[in-house]
Amino acid sequence: MRRKAAGSMFKKVKHHSLKKHTEKKLTERDISERNSPLKYLGFLVDEAFFEDFELLYEFGRELGLQRKDVKLFTFVETRRKIPSLRQNQISNKEFTWRGEIQKQNAQEFLDFPFDALIGFYKGKHEFLSAMVALSRAKFKIGFEGADARLYDLMISINPSNFEAAKAEIEKYLKILNKI
């Protein structure tokens, strides 16, 4: 019983630290290149919500990008026991109790200056929100229910309706002269 209570406290400290990191990064964000044209597109995806990653690469192609210019990183709550070949995946276990990321390729993804980053998940998500806040992307797109402070553009469509979400994102990228 004692171990379970310690785990719960550890989890609370981790979530508090994630919130603090997110708040800090919001105040430090550089928005000077927000209006740059779309050459590199990134996706942060919750695997519990969306798993057809090929659709995301196809969407990048429809926006005029080559596959190598579209990157995605996924979040899973806990890793399965089965080994995964997927490199660009992170779980809650790879965040320290101070809310820092312990995975090198996740840090490399977040350091990449994407011209647009799409947070492809529903509602509030502490781990993915922290990653969006840490990202050096120039322009960030999120969906209804997410923390609006993290994003430059909020799409008022449920992202589970992929075709509608795609059409809306494309419409705004055209309006903003990114494509």
Give the CATH number, domain containing residue 26: 3.40.50
Helix (H) or strand (E) holding 14: helix 2-28
pLDDT at 2 over 60: no
Q: How many domains does the chain have?
A: 1
* pLDDT for res 113: 96
pLDDT at 1 over 70: no
Instruction: Copy the structure tokens of residue 89.
Output: 């995946």
Residues in CB range of 49: below 8 A, 6 or more apart: 120, 121, 122, 159, 160
Name the residue range of residue 35's domain.
2-175
pLDDT at 148 over 50: yes
Mean pLDDT, rounded, of the chain: 88
Band of the pLDDT at 7, cuts 50, 70, 90? low
- The CA distance from 98 to 109, in Å, is 20
Q: Which amino acid type is present at position 90?
A: I
* pLDDT for res 47: 92
Tell me the pLDDT tens digit for each residue of 71-127. 999 999 877 665 566 789 999 989 988 778 999 999 999 999 999 999 999 999 999
* pLDDT for res 166: 97
Predicted TM-score (pTM) of the model is: 0.87
* pLDDT for res 12: 77
